[in-house]
Structure 1
Amino acid sequence: MEDSSFFDMMIGHLRSTCKYYTGYPKYLGPSRVIHFTSEREFVKLLHEGFPVVVAFTIRGSYTRHLDKVLDEAAAEFYPHVKFMRVECPKYPGFCITRQKKEYPFIEIFQSPTQAANQGKVADPNVTKYNVKVLPFHNDVSAYGFREFFKRHGLWSPDLK
């Protein structure tokens, strides 16, 4: 009986410390993926100063796979990068502004700054912002996100 508990302890230690996939699901804790509720909350999240990875999704089998990938990546890069998921059928106005036809797709938002030219604004309480948007075309995995962030200077291993 002692051998069984020692074996379980060693496998548990290997799963928790190994960076490579061992064939067992990792326990990631509670999901750190933020679900989109409003543009106001999105802007508030951008103003925290962290890059925000946004997955624009619709229901489907690939979306279930993407949810698992986003959970793993969000757990790895927390708190330096925020991950958000938008269900486009629920919030079509936010998704239509991205002008994409294929779903799901991922974009990374960073560095909001107030627009110098506010233009014609009907409501004086509305403020326009310029946001740097990077389309994500890498491998959809924690490794793909890591390489993308390194290439664009959004994340480094020192931040971990």
Structure 2
Amino acid sequence: MTGKRLSFIAGAGSAFLLIAALGFQAAGYAPCELCILQRWPHVAAVAVAVLVWLTGRVRALAVLGMAAAGVAAGLALYHVGVEMTWWAGPSHCSGGVGDLSTMSTQDLMARLQSAPVVRCDEIAWQFLGLSMAGWNAVLSAGLAVLWAVAARRGERA
């Protein structure tokens, strides 16, 4: 299979993950801040796939697609770690409000009112023991490998 075709398949994989995320959102699973952050590298990967298709410049662009999928996998792994309490997530989406002993009542109320409703450290949905972030990590890593193979096949017709 050509590098151009593999790039198209990898880009379609990112598009599928974006559509799935939006589908879950439409079904009532509101995304947290880390969930939304994980979408942007997939948007970039889709754009790279379109550029590969339009220009035929596989090698250089596929490396960018691989980087985008790798960033998506990294962000997803970070999110999994937050969900599993392996490490702390961003305080504004993991329930932290700061040091209560030094905070005035007005500051506490302002922080609580501006806190996001959807927490990053709670698993909203899982399948076969993996959360949505876990599945995104696995699938994004696979897409990064696919992009790497496309880059290796380069400009072949």
**Structure with a larger share of its residues in helix:** 2
TM range (shorter): under 0.3
Structure 2 length-normalised TM: 0.23
Structure 1 length-normalised TM: 0.23
